[in-house]
């Protein structure tokens, strides 16, 4: 069979190896003029019109970041996520949302492993799903962190679907907010009546998605659950207590023992670049929350601290709405100052002023020198303050990715 990989991103090599091992002839198609890490000898179709030249192929594997609208080939388009769902012999717990997916997925894994279950973490935070497929047994459990890109055109939903809070995001790739929400909704759309949907009933979009589910549905924003299990967490922030409640609710088909549930929560120490303490310098505590790529994530980070704080905001332009973040800053007197950087600095600055944030409470820095940005931030901080890098934006204007941004921040704070 002749197979085309439409887009050669993070899953690209895994997909190439998977379909090649099946005996298929695999061609890499990408709209970029050049692509890194192409396997030796692999045929390629590159350039702006690459996706218009795929008629001859029997199967087209869509990379997550490729909009399905770019591939008008009825009955030919598939994805690595669809392949995994079709072939996986084990139960899948799928987790989606705008923020908290990685932490919630990891908390679920920690609980299940505390209960001596064999668990596979795949998707955005774990291994590429097809890499793990050969070793998954029927009695195992898969936890799949699912982005809107992976959900865009799936044909099957997980046994347990977790829908966290959803805000506008990735509008630089999705057609509009409706398209983004429609993609997210696929996590429940194909469930069975015996399946389970766990959702944030305080979030309007998550509630609308849950209403589409044919499965049993339960809201996880529950004071009883949060008061019972919140104290077991070692990671900070009220948003993480909500993530813990989502995790506890999601594992109910597999684990009900309160002792094990608390043990699993307690044993999770947090993910890199998610509100991670770096060090204290001259009475100022520095935190790395580089994973924050949406305004709602920055709000959650700021809510995690009950002392004066300085936040570094801004980055790659994804056309996010910064008005709610600006309103939060305007109404939180503990936010001493916002340091605004990157492509979005002008829009964030405009949003802050529109929300009534006084001009002395934010600084817009027209520089891509991250060392200079960290130095300037440290000069603004006072003993007792918290400085948190929580950009509310993607990183691609100044960095390779959020990991690079966080690693550089950690290094520069270490040099203060």
CATH number of the domain residue 332 falls in: 3.90.190.20
Of 48, 78, 108, the position where a domain reaches its end is: 78
Residues 147 and 16 in one domain: no
Residues 251 and 341 in one domain: no
Instruction: Say if 271 falls within a structural domain.
Output: no
Calpha distance 404→288 (Å, rounded): 12
Residues 254 and 329 in one domain: no
- The closest alpha carbon to 217, from 148, 161, 145, belongs to 161
Q: Give me the tens of pLDDT residue by residue for the chain, a chain 416 residues long.
A: 999 999 998 889 999 999 999 999 999 999 999 998 899 999 999 999 999 999 999 999 999 989 999 999 989 999 999 999 999 999 999 999 988 999 999 999 999 999 999 999 999 888 899 999 999 999 999 999 999 999 999 999 999 999 999 987 766 777 788 999 999 999 999 999 999 999 999 999 999 999 999 999 999 999 999 999 999 999 989 999 999 999 999 999 999 999 999 999 999 988 889 999 999 999 999 999 999 999 989 999 999 999 999 999 999 998 999 999 999 999 999 999 999 999 999 999 999 999 999 999 999 999 999 999 999 999 999 999 999 999 999 999 999 999 999 999 999 999 99
Instruction: Say if 151 falls within a structural domain.
Output: yes
Calpha distance 189→51 (Å, rounded): 28
Of 226, 241, 266, the position where a domain reaches its end is: 266
Residues 38 and 90 in one domain: no
Instruction: Say if 154 falls within a structural domain.
Output: yes
Instruction: Say if 114 falls within a structural domain.
Output: yes
Instruction: Say if 227 falls within a structural domain.
Output: yes
CATH number of the domain residue 10 falls in: 3.40.50.720
Residues 33 and 88 in one domain: no
Calpha distance 388→311 (Å, rounded): 5
CATH number of the domain residue 121 falls in: 3.40.1190.10
**Cα dihedral 14→19→25→29 (10° resolution):** -50
Calpha distance 294→345 (Å, rounded): 14
Residues 233 and 312 in one domain: no
Instruction: Say if 164 falls within a structural domain.
Output: yes
Residue 167: its pLDDT value, please? 85
Q: Answer for the pair 33, 17: CB distance below 8 angstroms, yes or no.
A: no
Query: Token match 């204007």: residue?
Result: 397
Residue 342, sorted as left (phi over 0), alpha (psi -120 to 50) or beta, turns out to be left
Would you call 154 helix, strand, or coil by DSSP?
A: coil
Of 14, 45, 78, the position where a domain reaches its end is: 78
Residue 9: its pLDDT value, please? 85
**Distance (Å) of CA 27 to CA 46, 56, 72, 89:** 10, 11, 18, 28
Cβ-Cβ contacts under 8 Å for 316 (sequence gap 6 or more): 342, 343, 344, 393, 394, 395, 396, 397
Calpha distance 297→292 (Å, rounded): 5
Calpha distance 381→81 (Å, rounded): 45
**Distance (Å) of CA 375 to CA 302, 385, 416:** 21, 15, 8
Q: Answer for the pair 307, 333: CB distance below 8 angstroms, yes or no.
A: no
In what helix (H) or strand (E) does residue 243 lie, and over which residues does it extend? helix 238-250
Instruction: Say if 346 falls within a structural domain.
Output: yes
Residue 171: its pLDDT value, please? 67
Q: Answer for the pair 180, 189: CB distance below 8 angstroms, yes or no.
A: no
Residues 183 and 87 in one domain: yes
Query: For the chain, how many structural domains are there in total?
Result: 3
Residues 303 and 167 in one domain: no
Residue 19 sits in which domain range? 2-78
Cβ-Cβ contacts under 8 Å for 4 (sequence gap 6 or more): 26, 27, 28, 29, 45, 54, 57, 59, 60, 61
Residues 61 and 146 in one domain: no
Residues 144 and 118 in one domain: yes
Total-model pTM:
0.83
Residues 72 and 88 in one domain: no
Instruction: Say if 40 falls within a structural domain.
Output: yes
Residues 107 and 167 in one domain: yes
Q: Answer for the pair 80, 61: CB distance below 8 angstroms, yes or no.
A: yes
């Amino acid at each position: 069979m002749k197979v085309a990989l439409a887009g050669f991103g993070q899953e690209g090599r895994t997909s190439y190896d998977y379909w090649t091992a099946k005996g298929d002839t695999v061609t890499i198609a990408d709209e970029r003029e050049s692509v890194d890490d192409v396997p030796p000898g692999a045929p390629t179709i590159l350039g702006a019109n690459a996706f218009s030249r795929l008629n001859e192929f029997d199967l087209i594997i869509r990379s997550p970041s490729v909009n399905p609208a770019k591939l008008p080939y009825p009955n030919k388009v598939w994805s690595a996520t669809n392949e995994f769902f079709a072939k996986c012999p084990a139960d899948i717990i799928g987790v989606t949302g705008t923020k908290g997916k990685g932490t919630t997925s990891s908390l679920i894994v920690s609980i299940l492993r505390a209960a001596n279950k064999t668990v596979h973490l795949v998707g955005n935070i774990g291994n590429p799903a097809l890499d793990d497929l050969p070793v998954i047994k029927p009695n195992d459990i898969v936890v799949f962190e699912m982005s809107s890109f992976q959900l865009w055109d799936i044909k099957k939903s997980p046994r347990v679907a977790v829908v966290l809070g959803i805000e506008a995001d990735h509008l630089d790739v999705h057609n509009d907010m409706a398209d983004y929400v429609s993609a997210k909704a696929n996590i429940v759309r194909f469930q069975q009546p015996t399946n389970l949907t766990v959702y944030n009933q305080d979030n309007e979009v998550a509630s609308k998605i849950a209403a589409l589910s044919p499965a049993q549905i339960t809201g996880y924003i529950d004071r009883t659950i949060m008061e019972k299990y919140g104290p077991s967490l070692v990671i900070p922030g009220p948003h993480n207590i909500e993530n813990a409640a989502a995790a506890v609710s999601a594992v109910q088909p597999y684990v009900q023992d309160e002792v094990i549930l608390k043990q699993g929560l307690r044993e999770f120490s947090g993910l890199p670049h998610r509100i991670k303490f770096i060090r204290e310098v001259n009475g100022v505590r520095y935190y790395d929350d580089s994973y924050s790529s949406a305004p709602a994530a920055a709000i959650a980070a700021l809510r995690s601290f009950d002392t004066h704080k300085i936040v570094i905001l801004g980055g790659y332009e994804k056309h996010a709405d910064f008005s709610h973040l600006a309103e939060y800053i305007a109404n939180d007197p503990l936010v001493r100052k916002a340091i605004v950087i990157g492509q979005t600095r002008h829009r964030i600055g405009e949003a802050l002023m529109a929300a009534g944030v006084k001009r002395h409470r934010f600084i817009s820095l027209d520089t891509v020198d991250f060392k200079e940005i960290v130095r300037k931030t440290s000069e603004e901080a006072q003993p007792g303050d918290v400085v948190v890098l929580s950009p509310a934006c993607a990183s691609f204007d100044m960095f390779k990715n959020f990991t690079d941004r966080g690693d550089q921040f950690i290094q520069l704070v270490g040099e203060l």
